[in-house]
Amino acid sequence: MALIGCTAGSASAAEADWPQLGQTPAHHGFNTAETGFSLGNVAGLFTDWTVTYGQSTADESSPVVADGVVYIAGADGGVSAFAAGGCGMPSCPALWRRSTR
């Protein structure tokens, strides 16, 4: 599986801060304050960095970002952590990886 960090516009951290998966307890997945992507800037999206995690081809998780670290679980039971700001290279190694099994 691959995770891609993208950049577009200048959305502030407060606009993109989701306190939990799906934004709210109902997991509706919509943040009314988030305005970083629009028809005017979506063409300017580019890949900052990519990573590979897990051993399966199925993704049953969504990334969680906390304190500058991206955490993501693979369908293989592995949890990986990556630097949210990337690593200065196109493809970044995990900070750590653990199994939940």
**pLDDT tens digits for range 62-91:** 788 888 898 888 877 888 899 988 888 888
The residues pairing with 72 across neighbouring beta strands, listed in sequence order, are 80
Whole-model pTM: value is 0.62
User: Largest Cα–Cα distance of the chain, in whole Å?
Assistant: 45
Confidence of residue 96 (pLDDT cuts 50, 70, 90): very high
Tokens of 87: 């690593």
The residue among 13, 91, 1 whose CA lies nearest residue 49 is 91
The string of DSSP codes covering 6-62 is EE-TT--HHHH--SSTTSSTT-----TT--S--TTTGGG-EEEEEEE--SSS-----
Task: Give 15-49 pLDDT, tens digit per residue.
Answer: 456 677 777 788 777 766 666 777 887 788 777 77
- Domain segments of the chain as ranges: 1-8+48-101
Tokens of 74: 């693979």
Check if CATH label 2.60.120 holds for domain 1-8+48-101: no
The Cα 30–Cα 81 span in angstroms is: 25
H or E segment to which residue 95 belongs: none
At 98 the three-state DSSP class reads: strand
